[in-house]
Amino acid sequence: MGGQVSTLGDTYSYGILLLEMFIGKRPTNEVFKDGQNIHTFISMALPEHVIDIIDPLMFFEEDEEEVDDTRNEEDLEGREIIEEENPHVNVSSRMTDCLKSVFQIGLSCSASSPNERIPINVVVNEMNAIRDIVHKLKKGRRRARMTG
């Protein structure tokens, strides 16, 4: 804001990008009006409404054998059906805790005052810890599907 380039500006950008990715909305989305922005939108939703704001496509799993960068019409239609039928994604409480943590990191990175922003080395450590938990949760779910 002061016109000077700093790593704290990069931290802010990372935080906004993280929030965008997890809610599936850009800061310019029409839901952000009347003085509301992506930061305040998420701040008001946490912690009770984390599932209400998460992008439902975050939990759209593809067949691991069929992963491919090109998307066909059937794939896109399937995603639309998921969004329509499941406006509130059903996730475990452990996964919900991970999502809350990711949102908290995004909010801490995008604090309006540079001095209030979380150091990026702490962000990296926390995101790695969250990633490890999510991998364990997915591995456990995959094992349960194979044996169930």
pTM value? 0.73
Single-letter code of the amino acid located at 31 = V
Q: What is the pLDDT of residue 12?
A: 92
Domain borders along the chain are 7-58+71-147
Chain segment 102-135, per-residue pLDDT in tens: 999 999 999 999 999 999 999 999 999 999 998 8
Nearest to 134 by CA among 105, 104, 107, 96: 96
Going by CATH, does the domain composed of 7-58+71-147 fall within 2.40.50.140? no
Chain segment 39-49, per-residue pLDDT in tens: 899 999 999 99
User: Between these two residues, 15 and 81, which has the higher pLDDT value?
Assistant: 15
C-alpha span between 28 and 9 (Å, rounded): 19
Three-class secondary structure of residue 122 per DSSP: helix
| Dihedral over alpha carbons 21, 38, 29, 49 (to 10 degrees) | 80
C-alpha span between 135 and 143 (Å, rounded): 12
